[in-house]
């Protein structure tokens, strides 16, 4: 038997018979490794465990602990779903069934039949039957003509196959009486799927084109054990309770209207919260030596041509005509800030020059993509643009990262950093400039000991960036802050400064946003805190509840005025309702402090308070209560 050489990740090389499989290699090392293995890499290509290896190769086995193994599991579960649907609805046709961050889905054409929750339970039952049958998954190689014959009754697969080149090798996977086009890899048999759940059904246009037929998209998720599935389902339920659209309505924070899809309205409570966030932003930036500006919302088309937005971002911009000239509502704040920079002459002594703006921008998003505050058509970017010399890049970016770390810690948000590099298409500037900029961002992270991940090809069209991925109280990841290094726009706008030698030089420009947008960040905070904001942010900080209006309202009014004079946001509940009812309502509204005033409190100039979410009641002197509140607000506890 012909031998081949297999290179292992630790550098060892072993000889095996040609056509050995990854499963056999794992077994030769140890039966326990074979049991834990799911798939593997052969020369950087993902392989099934039972796919033959026919040449000298480098391999890496995947076990259940690897992220890619979770993807293999969910891909196999998608095929399991389709198999079950095909058994229950023989007339069903299938489009695609990929793995996504939330698990997997399959797009299905059932004619006039519409799935409901009971149907999903019926499909789950059939999936469990197929799991018990322990059916092997078989990889099949087909020519284009062979594939057309195998899928002759499926118009969606025929369409897909016809788009492939004549010479392309086509792979499919068969499990018993079900077969589908697929690159793989997959698990070896259906009984390896131990824990799954179908989550929901939604509509999806064929190929994402609204002119095509609407298919039914069934979503599901799978894990390697039932405990992990149970935890995930619990988190999904918790996320539903925290949905910022639901809480935004219940707490009177914001609204959306059919008269302006994607354009949020701030209600009184939401506006109060927003102003607190803005004030925190302003004070933080003043301490960091930023100069604050405001630029126009609409500017001439010529400006957007110079910036490159007109050619790279035109489809997302709103335009209008003024005095026979074409204008655009700004989708970004940077060109306006550049005009502010050009208004004055600058010296190297001015640098780094930090200019901040809470600027309202507009971007046209598809109606189907709009989602509460998370995806809107107008939002306020907490922008800043920093102009500097080349030799200041690393120190300034390092300083920024420390600022980001402080701000996110105030909200109890953990984070990690991604370095997004040059896009394959639609970028401005030379490759050399991009390489230099990417290295500078990487060096800045390294200087202060911050690890980062590479996100290939996801940079802005004008430069690479550091993206800050935030982790909330449920462990979900949100992309918010960004630091973008731009060596291109200063060139396009002919920016300059006078250096120490008296010569004109080109500055480097940083674009940066801490929150990303106030709207989206507030949506994240609503879900992060489940609507129970810390005292300094809460729209209503204190509810005052007299035990009996006849005897205690005068003292309640006195406390109310004192708290107002100390600049607290306070509500006096003087309704003729039962005490328990008013306390419960205060808790429902997630007010940080509910204070109850009766005979004892009136006599001793005291308050009895109850913090949101706590059952304990504490009685202290009014002056001590005010000190407690001030300390909590000052330290943003």
pLDDT per residue as tens digits for the range 369-401: 889 999 999 999 999 999 999 899 999 999 999
Of 175, 188, 381, 392, which one is the catalytic site residue? Answer: 381
What pLDDT, on a 0 to 100 scale, did the predictor assign at position 610? 95
**Mean pLDDT score, 198-225:** 92
Q: What letter does residue 190 receive in the DSSP assignment? A: G
Say which of 383, 486, 543, 573 is annotated catalytic.
383
Kindly tell me the sign of the dihedral angle through the C-alpha atoms of 352, 357, 362, 366.
positive
Catalytic member of 186, 362, 465, 528: 465
List 355's β-bridge partners, or say none: 291, 385
Please state, in angstroms and rounded to a whole number, the distance separating the CA atoms of residues 595 and 128. Answer: 54
Mean pLDDT on 208-236: 92
Residue 282 confidence class, pLDDT cut points 50, 70, 90: very high
State the CATH number of the domain containing residue 287: 3.30.930.10
Positive or negative, the CA dihedral 343, 348, 349, 352 is: positive
pLDDT in tens, 2-51: 889 999 998 899 999 999 999 999 999 999 999 999 999 999 899 999 99
Instruction: Determine which one of 242, 377, 385, 528 is catalytic.
Output: 385
Would you state the pLDDT for residue 222? 97
Same domain, 14 and 115: no
Q: Does a cis peptide bond (omega within 30 degrees of 0) precede residue 185?
A: yes
Residue 53, pLDDT score: 93
- Tell me whether residue 265 is in a domain: no
Confirm whether 383 is a catalytic residue: yes
- In this structure, the answer to whether residues 59 and 73 fall within a common structural domain is no
CATH number of the structural domain spanning residue 15: 3.10.20.30
Q: Verify whether residue 83 is a known catalytic residue.
A: no
- Name the catalytic one among 197, 217, 274, 511: 511
In a domain, 255, yes or no: no
The verdict on 589 and 454 lying in the same domain is: no
Asked if 300 contacts 310 with a C-beta cutoff of 8 angstroms, the reply is no
In a domain, 107, yes or no: yes
pLDDT digits (tens, 9 = 90+) for 409-425: 999 999 999 999 998 88
Supply the range of the domain harboring residue 572.
542-634
DSSP code of residue 344:
S
- 56-102 pLDDT per residue, tens: 999 999 999 888 899 999 999 999 999 999 999 999 999 999 999 88
244 catalytic per annotation:
no
Q: Which of 182, 334, 337, 480 is the catalytic position?
A: 334
User: What is the bridge-based pairing of β-strands 99-100 and 57-63?
Assistant: unpaired
Same-domain pairing of 74 and 170: yes
Residue 259 placed within a domain: no
Q: Is residue 250 part of a domain?
A: no
334 an active-site residue?
yes
pLDDT at position 287 = 96
Residues 116, 58 within the same domain: no
Report d(CA 80, CA 124) in Å as an integer.
10
Q: Examine the domain organization and report whether 90 and 40 are in the same domain.
A: no
200 is an active site residue: no
Question: Do 165 and 194 have their domain in common?
Answer: yes
Q: Domain for residue 271, yes or no?
A: no
| 95-141 residue pLDDT tens | 999 999 889 999 999 988 889 889 999 999 999 999 999 999 999 99
- Number of domains within the chain: 4
Q: What is the CATH number of the domain that holds 556?
A: 3.40.50.800
Catalytic site residue 465? Answer: yes
Single residue among 241, 256, 271 that ends a domain in this structure: 241
| Angle, helix 117-132 to helix 67-88, in steps of 10 degrees | 110
The Cα-based distances of 307 to 333, 342, 429, 482, 539 in angstroms read 11, 14, 12, 19, 40
- At 1 the pLDDT is 67
Has residue 91 been placed in a domain? yes
Determine the distance from the C-alpha atom of residue 139 to the mean position of all C-alpha atoms in its chain, rounded to a whole number: 35
The pLDDT value recorded for residue 226 is 94
pTM above 0.75, yes or no: yes
Q: Whose structure tokens read 């037929």?
A: 213
Closest by CA position to 514, among listed 262, 287, 334, 277: 277
pLDDT tens-digit profile of 421-459?
998 887 877 888 888 889 989 999 998 999 999 998 888
Within a domain: 489: yes
Same domain, 113 and 233: yes
How many whole angstroms separate alpha carbon 601 and alpha carbon 188? 71
Contacts of 206 (CB under 8 A, 6+ apart): 95, 107, 109, 156, 212, 213, 214, 215
Range with the poorest average pLDDT among 190-199, 308-317, 322-331: 308-317
Same-domain status, 522 and 546? no
Give pLDDT, residue 446.
92
Q: Are 378 and 400 part of one and the same domain?
A: yes
**Shortest CA distance to 197 belongs to which of 227, 219, 166, 165?**
219
Residue 5 designated active-site: no
Q: Are residues 51 and 107 in the same domain?
A: no
Whether residues 583 and 511 share a domain: the answer is: no
């Amino acid at each position: 038997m012909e031998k081949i050489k297999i290179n292992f990740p630790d550098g060892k090389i072993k000889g095996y018979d040609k056509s050995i499989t990854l499963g056999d290699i794992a077994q030769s090392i140890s039966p326990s490794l074979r049991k834990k293995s799911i798939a593997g890499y052969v020369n950087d290509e993902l392989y099934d465990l039972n796919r033959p290896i026919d040449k000298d190769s480098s391999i890496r086995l995947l076990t259940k602990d690897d992220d890619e193994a979770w993807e293999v599991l969910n891909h196999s579960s998608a095929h399991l779903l389709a198999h079950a649907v095909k058994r229950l609805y023989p007339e069903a046709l299938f489009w695609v069934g990929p793995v996504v961050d939330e698990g997997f889905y399959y797009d299905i054409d059932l004619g006039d039949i519409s799935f409901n929750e009971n149907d999903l339970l019926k499909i789950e039952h059939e999936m469990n039957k197929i799991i018990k049958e322990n059916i092997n998954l078989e990889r099949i190689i087909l020519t284009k003509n062979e594939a057309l014959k195998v899928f002759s009754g499926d118009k969606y697969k025929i369409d897909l196959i016809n788009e492939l080149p004549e010479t392309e090798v086509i792979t499919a996977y068969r499990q018993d009486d079900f077969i589908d086009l697929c690159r793989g890899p997959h698990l070896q048999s259906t009984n390896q799927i131990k824990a799954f759940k179908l989550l929901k059904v939604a509509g999806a246009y064929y190929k994402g084109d609204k002119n095509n037929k609407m298919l039914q998209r069934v979503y599901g998720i799978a894990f390697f054990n039932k405990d992990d599935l149970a935890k995930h389902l619990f988190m999904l339920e918790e996320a539903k309770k925290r949905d910022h659209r639901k809480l935004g309505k219940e707490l009177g924070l914001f609204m959306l209207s059919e008269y302006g899809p994607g354009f949020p309205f701030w209600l009184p409570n939401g506006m109060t919260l927003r102003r607190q966030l803005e004030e925190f932003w302003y004070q933080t930036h003043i301490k960091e030596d930023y100069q604050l500006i405001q630029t126009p919302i609409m500017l001439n088309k010529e400006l957007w041509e110079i910036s490159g937005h007109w050619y790279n971002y035109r489809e997302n911009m709103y335009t209008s005509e003024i005095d026979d000239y074409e204008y655009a509502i700004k989708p970004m704040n940077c060109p306006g800030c550049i005009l502010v920079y050009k208004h004055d002459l600058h010296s190297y002594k001015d640098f780094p020059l930090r200019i901040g703006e809470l600027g309202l921008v507009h971007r046209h998003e598809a109606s189907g993509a709009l989602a509460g505050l998370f995806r809107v058509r107008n939002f306020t970017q907490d922008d800043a643009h920093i102009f500097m010399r080349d030799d200041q890049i690393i120190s300034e970016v390092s300083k920024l990262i420390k600022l980001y770390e402080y701000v996110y810690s105030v909200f109890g948000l953990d984070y990690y950093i991604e370095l997004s590099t040059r896009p394959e298409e639609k970028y401005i500037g030379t490759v050399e400039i991009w390489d230099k900029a990417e290295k500078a961002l990487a060096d800045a992270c390294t200087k202060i000991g911050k690890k980062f991940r590479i996100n290939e090809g996801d940079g802005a069209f004008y430069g690479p960036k550091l993206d800050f991925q935030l982790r909330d109280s449920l462990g979900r990841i949100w992309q918010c802050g960004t630091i973008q290094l731009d060596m291109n726009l200063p060139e396009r706008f002919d920016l300059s400064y006078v250096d120490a030698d008296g010569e004109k030089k080109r500055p480097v420009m940083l674009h940066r946003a801490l929150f990303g947008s106030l709207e989206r960040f507030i949506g994240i905070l609503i879900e992060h805190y489940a609507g129970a904001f810390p005292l300094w942010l809460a729209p209503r900080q204190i509810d005052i509840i007299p035990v009996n209006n006849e005897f205690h309202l005068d003292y309640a009014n006195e406390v109310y005025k004192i708290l107002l004079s100390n600049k607290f946001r306070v509500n006096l509940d003087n309704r003729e309702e039962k005490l328990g009812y008013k306390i419960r309502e205060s808790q429902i509204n997630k007010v940080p402090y509910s204070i109850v005033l009766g005979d004892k409190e009136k006599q001793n100039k005291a308050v009895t308070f109850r913090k949101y979410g706590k059952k304990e009641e504490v009685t202290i002197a009014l002056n001590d209560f005010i000190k407690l509140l001030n300390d909590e607000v000052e330290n943003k506890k």
